[in-house]
Chain A
């Protein structure tokens, strides 16, 4: 039995870099009000003393899903979708509130960042598996599976910097879908690239998602949510505005997009 239960999650990012400093000046001289609502992004806060600048990325986020659920996170750019994924993945510990997850978490974002361009396709599969914490006895089977599926052939033994972008997509897609995840977390639906390959890839993706215990996917495309999910969570300015059956939540999302939602007017 896998589950994710989030109660009153709150996440703040501290801002330290140069932009933050000039921002800090702006706040000190009161050019920005203490709290400002804007259409994109979390709210920018400053501490009581006026010194520290933070972005309130998530506030009062509540939802719970269990085995078999496919949850779509929707919202504007900067609504907090990616931050929430990182909190679910255990990368950011929330400042307040609680998050309980049961099941091994398989995050599928930033994959190409973790690849070594000088290493071969096979080496990168092994590296990826170890980074994901996959047991050693499964790694060889996964590497073979990726090799077969991606049709990369001899290229699996070449440094991946020699790959065309289409070949890169085949490799990352192959790796991403080779495992049996318990809780799968994706930032935008993983794509499969060129047309020749797309049918094969879609079948594999369908199989992969069906095997997962829980799927959480962040997107701003309601079509993706309709196609793949049975539940949806609408984030707006870092708050969970609606959670439940897909159509109901998408209706509220459309209302926000058209500025008709009460949350958009706050």
Chain B
């Protein structure tokens, strides 16, 4: 398909290492973006939180009535799922695909490790996700979902989930710089994936058709993040799938990044 030379690979690895090290820069850029949302707006990012809260409440009650679920069990579950999907998976992939396009003014102005812009995007989405977490905390308090020792799994699952989403964000970012249809196409793919991920429902409600969600790697990314929030241990199979997804993804992305990194400014 394409060949990667040793200097290209070195360049790619150096770019990633240097990019992560430039935390002051990506932190400031992300912070600037979040702060931008608050300018002349009292609620700022909390508007997004409020709109998700209303969405979760509506969905939660309707679903509970439709499928005879207990509201106190379903609402915290739904809230956790929606936060992870919106803030983590959907947000990072959607923004990841337009990261390089949106950072063109910086990229064409000064040479910096290009992974800085990916780090900035991941960081601003993590900050936004932290805002969303307030919804989960609210429901957890109301319906007394208390943290257990299993909640500590988050210390492992959060970095692993981040690894499994970040490679795809980087990959899509490069691809979108060259093919401008990708961000639009991704929007429809994510719309489909939303229904193939057990966010609004539980996987076991699908009975013998549950393979349709099990085949979706994002179901497992969701599982390792949501189970600890619900005070349970994630299923072992999910750990394996996510670890495999992250490893295989990074191998491919590293090769891809090494080959095309220098071409990105030409495509912008």
Contact = CB atoms under 8 A, between A and B. Distances in A.
Interface string B89-126: 00000000000000001111111100000000000000
A164 to B, nearest CB: 21
B267 to A, nearest CB: 7
Contacts of B265: 86, 91-92
A63 interface: no
Interface string A235-254: 00000000000000000000
Contact of A118 (B22, B24, B36, B111): B36
A222 B62 CA distance: 74
Contacts of A111: 109
Contacts of B36: 116, 118
Contacts of A159: 39
Given A116-B36, A127-B28, A110 B111 contact: no
A126 B24 CA distance: 11
Interface in B250-268: 262, 265-267
Given A118-B36, A127-B28, A127-B32, A133 B112 contact: yes
Given A118-B39, A131-B112, A93 B28 contact: no
Interface string A48-91: 00000000000000000000000000000000000000100111
Mostly helix, strand, loop or mixed at chain B's interface? Answer: helix
B241 interface: no
Given A126-B28, A131-B25, A13 B108 contact: no
A109 B266 contact: no
Contact of B262 (A93, A110, A131, A132): A93
A114 B105 contact: yes
Nearest to B104: A113
Interface in A84-115: 86, 89-93, 105, 107, 109-111, 113-114
B267 A130 contact: no
Contact of B25 (A105, A107, A110, A130): A130
A91 B107 contact: yes
A169 interface: no
Contacts of A86: 108, 265
A91 B110 contact: yes
B106 A13 contact: no
Interface residues of B, number: 21
Contacts of B28: 126-127, 130
B24 A119 contact: no
Given A110-B105, A114-B105, A116-B36, A132 B266 contact: no
A31 interface: no
B45 to A, nearest CB: 15
A119 B32 contact: yes
Contacts of A126: 28
Nearest to B262: A93
Contacts of B262: 93
B106 A114 contact: yes
Which of B25, B107, B108, B267 has the most A CB atoms < 10 Å from its CB?
Answer: B108
Contacts of B109: 91, 107, 109-111, 113-114, 131
Contacts of B25: 130-131, 133
Nearest to B111: A90
A116 B31 CA distance: 12
Most buried by A among B22, B105, B110, B178: B110
Contacts of A119: 32
Q: Which of A91, A118, A126 has the most CB of B within 10 A?
A: A91
Contacts of B108: 86, 91, 110
Contacts of B39: 118, 159
B24 A136 contact: yes
Contacts of A166: none
Interface in B212-268: 262, 265-267
Nearest to A89: B111
A113 B105 contact: yes
A167 to B, nearest CB: 20
A110 B103 CA distance: 13
A197 interface: no
Contacts of A110: 105, 108-109
A93 to B, nearest CB: 4
A92 B262 CA distance: 7
Contact of B110 (A14, A16, A89): A89
A114 B111 CA distance: 13
Nearest to A105: B111
A182 to B, nearest CB: 14
Contacts of B111: 89-91, 105, 107
11 contacts: A14-B266, A16-B267, A86-B108, A86-B265, A90-B111, A91-B107, A91-B109, A91-B265, A92-B266, A109-B109, A130-B25
Interface of A: 13-14, 16, 86, 89-93, 105, 107, 109-111, 113-114, 116, 118-119, 123, 126-127, 130-133, 136, 159
